[in-house]
Every structure is written in structure tokens, then in C-alpha cells.
Amino acid sequence: MGMGDTHGSRFAATRGRRPSSEPPPRPSQETFLPTCRADLDARGWDAVDIVIVTGDAYVDHPAFGPILIARFLEGRGFRVGLIAQPDWRSADAFRALGRPRLFYGVSAGNLDSMLNRLTSQKKNRREDPYSPGGRTGARPDRATLVYAQRCREAFAGVPVILGGIEASLRRIAHYDYWSDTVRRSVVIDSKADMLVFGMGERPIWEVAQRLAQGEPIGSIRDVRGTAFALSKVETETALATPSRYTTDGRVVVLPSYEEVRVDPVAYATMARLFQHETNPGSARPVAQRHGDRAVWYNPPAWPLGDGANVDDVAMDELYDLPFTRRPHPTYTEGVPAWETVKHSIVTMRGCFGGCTFCSITEHEGRIIQNRSAESVLREVRALRRMDDFRGTITDLGGPTANMYKMKCKSPTIERACRKLSCIHPSVCPNLNVDHGPTIDLMRKVRNEPGVQHVFIASGVRTDLAVRSPEYIEELATHHVGGHLSVAPEHVTPRVLEKMKKPGIELYEQFQRMFQCASNDAGKEQYEIPYFISGHPGCDLGDMIELSLWLKQHGYRPRQVQDFIPTPMSIASAMYHTGIDPLTGEPIHVAKGLKEKRLQKALLLYWDPSWHDDVREALTLAHRTDLIGRGAGCLVPPASGSRAG
């Protein structure tokens, strides 16, 4: 569900208390969370403490965020039930487990529901990988809003707490690409009691414990990683005297929803201010007015620790929970997303790259949170016990394959830092970029009995990798099955600058090192580079330069990424406003679907089905010299033309 974490006196004092009068039995490895009344009866439960509602199918695997949160809460003594992909057309499905004693936890699932359904050209996707059989239509648009409404209808007075990536990235006023409008915070539109943003184990645990002790949801105002709507009276009090909610009287007041809805400069200002309040060590509380009310955002949750403190939660604990690692037995069709991840292992979370188009940093944070090698090896052994495991681990990584155990050399500097990236425009001298722990983990996993292959499918950050020839050698020799996916994203300096990505020369350096290492290992292996079209700051001229680079290097990409403005990212602010919020400079934006299609066509210059679009793009860019049959041309002339 992706709901955060926190420290505090209440948190430490209540660790380990069971909220129910009778502790639930610890589930066996093959036990799923209850999903219906019969499951409760089988456990001898009269009610549940918490109901988690998710837009994804129920796959009992840690890669599914709502399930991770549900298992985490269950492991701390709460009776947790799950409602997966309910029929949202009435409240009946939301009553399947009865009235929850503490709260409903609502998540749209592992993806924003609009991104899950629609492409960059605003066409319906052919598959929903998080639904049985890949069928579409199993969740509503803006699922967080719809589910929250149905929960309120099902049982009036039960607190509704939002979480997950959709809620997390829509927590402030935000540009919505699919409606081409600026929408209000999901906290306001859902009428939810609270929103937990980011990776939310500790915040939701503290909130659950305080609710179990009888504290009203409306008085829980001080938990890191949470947001909530203030009443009209509270708004005036909080913004006039913010010390009511903060210890030192500081608060960042964003431009209001009414301002950002109509003023691009105000929207860009909001985006810049908000991004600088994402480091939990230096972040201040944030508030944003919506009419006569406001939404209050506490500082982000602290990252998970190493388990050394009595009130700490370690990443290891999450992956030691009793996941069955399978879809619920009621499904008669496979769930494609599970097929992708069922034999993969997550080693870390978070990313300090700060790419402007990416939502990982906004959701998981910039501080890397790691599992121990021992925890990873325990999961490898659990995989070996699965009857369909044949010795191949399909991925060993996370948001980035080679950031495992990398961190700032100074905790003091890390807590005070307000930079949005640790590696752009160059790698920070305070960043420890030692690949040693990653290499050691790769070796331990592949040397486990029963493991034949360990592949790296997570993205490799090439500007870090080139600093470790040993890592590239290890990768090429043991962990690539012929093709390695990497993401240089573009080639022109000005577009890469807007993306906050390194120059193409670093990718080319990585490419040479990888090929040398592959040759030394006696393997014929290739990199598969991914590129983005239509990114803010990119025009047809930039895409032509990219096409020429692709042709020069012999690449014919089949899967290309057409930029989609996802809520709250810096690149989305650029797309909506035509302004770089970090510099205030105006930039070119491919706003219409026509120009977006032409930019995408230039990535597919080699495909005859796209040649008409490529010729149109070259003509508009005054580069008809690239239409012809010469070696330096991108496409042949149109059929029947005498050109070329």
C-alpha cells in the first residue's frame, strides 16, 4: 500500500501491544489473509480490526504494496482482512468482511489507475497486468476516490485512510494528463480522514495503535508521513500560528489550489517548493489551501532502519513475513504481474537519482533502504521450496540494480541536504558509491545450492557502474542472459539536463566496458537501450539527433517510451506549465498528441509502418535532406516520389 514510517514516544511505548482482546493465530506459510465472512468464521473471528481495499488482484507476494502493508500489520497483532478488486458499483462488496474495528485502508494498487488503463496517446491499454488473465476493467478510473466513497457508504463512521502510489502522488494539487486539468488533492476529493504517503510501514502502524487505544482519528495530527484536511477553523489557526502543529513554528505554505489551477507560474513555484521538502531530515511541514480549507502534510517518514533500536523496523522484517508468494486460490487465471516477479528478489528500496520524469523518488524516497544479505538468502531458500522454481532468479535488485547499500558518508550532511539528486549534474563527493556490497551479494546468491542463474533485470545506473570495472565484469560474466536493459533516455545535452540524466558519453563508456567484459567472458551479449520521446524540453530537432545516433550505432528499438506526465513529478510540472520549475526558464513542450506521435515515430525511423510520420517530422523540422536512399538518410522517399 506504500504508506511511510515514523519515530516518536507513542511509537516506542506501544510497540508489540495487541489491539484485539484475543491474539490471532500466526498464519502458516500457506495461509492467505481472510477475504470473506467464511474465512473469518474459519479463524473464529467475529470481526477484523482493519480492512485493506486494493485495486489489484490478491497476490500474496511482497512486490504487491497493499499486501506488504496488510501482512506487516497482521504480524504486529492486528486482525487484517483484504478486499481485492471489489465491484465498485455499490457498497455491497465493501461489506464482505463486516465493519472493521479500526479503519479501512484504501489503495488503487501498484499503479495509478489512470496510468494502468490509458496510454500516452490516451487510448485504452490491451492488458491490465495486475488482474487475473490480464483482463481490463477490473478497477474504476481514479480508484482511490471511488473506493473511499464506497467504504464510507458501507459503514458510516469508520475512518478511511488512503495509501499507495496513486494517493501518494496525488496528495497535493496536481496536473492530471488524462483530463488535461489541475485537480485538487486526493485528500479533499476523497473526503478521507487521512493519507499515508511514501513507504508506509511505520506511519500506518503508529496510527493503527493509537486508534486501537481509543484515540480519535481526528486528533492524530503528528505522525510523520501523513496528510489530512483541516477544517475552516483549523486552517485559519494552523496557518496563522503553525506552531500548533510543528515544534519550531516553521511551515511551508504552497500556492493554493485556486492559484495553481489557473497560473502556470504559481504551479511551477508549487512544484519547486514541494520537491525541496522531501528529505525527512530537513523537510518542514507543508500546507496548501483548497478554498477555505487546507491540506496539511507532515514531514516524510524516516526510512526503515537496521533493526538495532528497540522501536526500529528493519527491511528484513518485511520479507520474513509469511507470504505464500502465490495468487489467491480462487483465481482460475494467472496474474501477469505475478508471473514477472514471482522468482525475483528485492534487495533495496529508494533512489537518489532524482530523474525528473520518475515517481520512484517521490514515493520511495532518496535514501536507500537495504535488506541484509542474510535476509536475501533466506528468501532464496524460500524460493527453492516453491514447486515451480527451476533454479533461475529473474531479478536481483530494486528500483536500481546497483545502488544497494550506497549512502551519504555523513549522516549529518545527509539530514541537512536539500539537493534533489546525489548524482546530477555529477556524483556528490559525499556519496559512497562502493559496489562491494552489491558484488558480494551477487556472489552469495548465485552460490546458493539449487540456484543456477541469477539475472539482473532492474535498471543499471551506468554513471555509477563505470566507477567499478569489477562490478561490470561481474555483471557481464554471470548475470546477463544475452541482453542487458539500460536507460540512457536521450542523447542531446539539453534534453538530458531537463531529465537530470548523465551525458550520453557515460553510457557509451559503459557500453565499451560491458562489451569488453562480455568478450573476456567468452559471451556474445548486447545492451538494449531505452529512450524517451516527447519529454519536456525535447523538440523534433532533438529527436532527429537521437534517430541519427541510433542509426550510427545500429540500434532499432522496438519498445519505446512516449513520455506520460504522471502526477507530481517535476517533468509533469514542465509539461503542464512550459516552465522548468527548478530554473524558472521557459521550455518547449510537445503538448499535442500529433507532435508526441511524430517524436515517437523518429525513434522508430527504421519501421516502414512509421515512415509517413517520420517524413512529416523531417519536413516540419526542415530536415528533408534526411529523406532519401543515401547512407546518411533516415527514411526513403514516399512511394512514387522522384526524391532521393
Grid coordinates standing for 584? 524558472
- Pairing, β 392-393 against β 453-454: parallel
Which secondary structure element, helix H or strand E, spans residue 146, and what is its range? Answer: helix 143-154
Does residue 100 sit in the same domain as residue 35? yes
The predicted model scores a pTM of 0.92
Grid coordinates standing for 587? 521550455
529 in a structural domain? no
309 in a structural domain? no
Mean pLDDT in the chain?
92
286 forms beta bridges with 252, 297
Encoded amino acid at 483, one letter: H
528 in a structural domain? no
514 in a structural domain? no
Q: How many domains does the chain have?
A: 4
Q: Of the candidates 621, 359, 345, which has an alpha carbon nearest to the alpha carbon of residue 458? A: 345
Residues 503-522 pLDDT 10s: 999 999 999 999 999 999 99
Grid coordinates standing for 194? 487521512
Asked if residues 73 and 106 have their Cβ atoms less than 8 Å apart, the reply is no
Position 248 scores a pLDDT of 65
Distance CA 445, CA 452 (A): 10
Instruction: Show the 3-state SS of 546-613.
Output: HHHHHHHCCCCCCCCEECCCCCCCHHHHHHHHCECCCCCCECCCCCCHHHHHHHHHHHCCCCHHHHHH
Which of the 8 DSSP states describes residue 130? T
396 forms beta bridges with 345
Tally of CB atoms within 10 A around 229: 20
Q: Of the candidates 216, 211, 198, 206, which has an alpha carbon nearest to the alpha carbon of residue 278? A: 198
307 in a structural domain? no
Q: Which of 475, 495, 515 is the last residue of a domain?
A: 495
Cβ-based neighbours of 486, under 8 Å, separated by 6 or more? 459, 460, 462, 507, 510, 527, 528, 529, 530
Position 640 scores a pLDDT of 64
Q: Of the candidates 429, 516, 526, which has an alpha carbon nearest to the alpha carbon of residue 466? A: 516
pLDDT band at 176 (very low <50, low <70, confident <90, very high): very high
359 in a structural domain? yes
> Has residue 295 got a pLDDT over 60?
yes
145 in a structural domain? yes
Does residue 40 sit in the same domain as residue 69? yes
Residues 441-491 pLDDT 10s: 999 999 999 999 999 999 999 999 999 999 999 999 999 998 998 999 999
Q: Find the mean pLDDT for residues 96-108.
A: 98
Cβ-based neighbours of 636, under 8 Å, separated by 6 or more? 611, 627, 628, 629, 644
Q: Of the candidates 100, 192, 83, which has an alpha carbon nearest to the alpha carbon of residue 138? A: 83
C-alpha pair distances (Å), 500 with each of 204, 351, 398, 571: 33, 13, 20, 10
Put residue 167 in one of left, alpha, beta given phi > 0 → left and psi -120 to 50 → alpha: alpha
CA-based end-to-end distance of the chain: 57
> Has residue 106 got a pLDDT over 50?
yes
The interaxial angle of helices 469-478 and 504-520, nearest 10 deg, is: 50
Does residue 254 sit in the same domain as residue 362? no
Q: Of the candidates 126, 134, 140, which has an alpha carbon nearest to the alpha carbon of residue 94? A: 140
Q: Of the candidates 136, 151, 141, 237, which has an alpha carbon nearest to the alpha carbon of residue 194? A: 151
pLDDT band at 2 (very low <50, low <70, confident <90, very high): very low
Tally of CB atoms within 10 A around 513: 20
Does residue 410 sit in the same domain as residue 285? no
Position 247 scores a pLDDT of 63
Distance CA 8, CA 199 (A): 17
Does residue 349 sit in the same domain as residue 465? yes
Percent of the chain with pLDDT over 70: 92
Does residue 71 sit in the same domain as residue 178? yes
Q: Find the mean pLDDT for residues 235-245.
A: 80
> Has residue 1 got a pLDDT over 70?
no
Does residue 56 sit in the same domain as residue 181? yes
Q: Of the candidates 302, 326, 325, 328, which has an alpha carbon nearest to the alpha carbon of residue 314? A: 302
Q: Find the mean pLDDT for residues 390-404.
A: 95
φ and ψ at residue 204, rounded to 5 degrees: -70, -30
Does residue 121 sit in the same domain as residue 247? no
Residues 602-624 pLDDT 10s: 999 999 999 999 999 999 999 99
pLDDT band at 21 (very low <50, low <70, confident <90, very high): very low
519 in a structural domain? no
Which of the 8 DSSP states describes residue 34? P
Does residue 80 sit in the same domain as residue 165? yes
C-alpha pair distances (Å), 254 with each of 155, 276, 431: 34, 12, 31
Distance CA 81, CA 139 (A): 19
Residues 353-385 pLDDT 10s: 999 999 888 889 899 999 999 999 999 999 999
Tally of CB atoms within 10 A around 549: 18
Does residue 539 sit in the same domain as residue 391? no
Distance CA 595, CA 617 (A): 8
Residues 403-435 pLDDT 10s: 999 999 999 999 999 999 999 999 999 999 999
Q: Which of 437, 469, 495 is the last residue of a domain?
A: 495
Does residue 77 sit in the same domain as residue 144? yes
CATH of the domain at 40: 3.40.50.280
Alpha carbon of residue 437 to chain centroid: 24
Residues 34-73 pLDDT 10s: 999 999 999 999 999 999 999 999 999 999 999 999 999 9
Question: Which range of residues forms the domain containing residue 237?
Answer: 233-292
Residue in the structure block whose three cell numbers are 543515401 = 630
Does residue 22 sit in the same domain as residue 117? yes
Q: Which of 292, 310, 328 is the last residue of a domain?
A: 292
The interaxial angle of helices 264-275 and 570-577, nearest 10 deg, is: 170
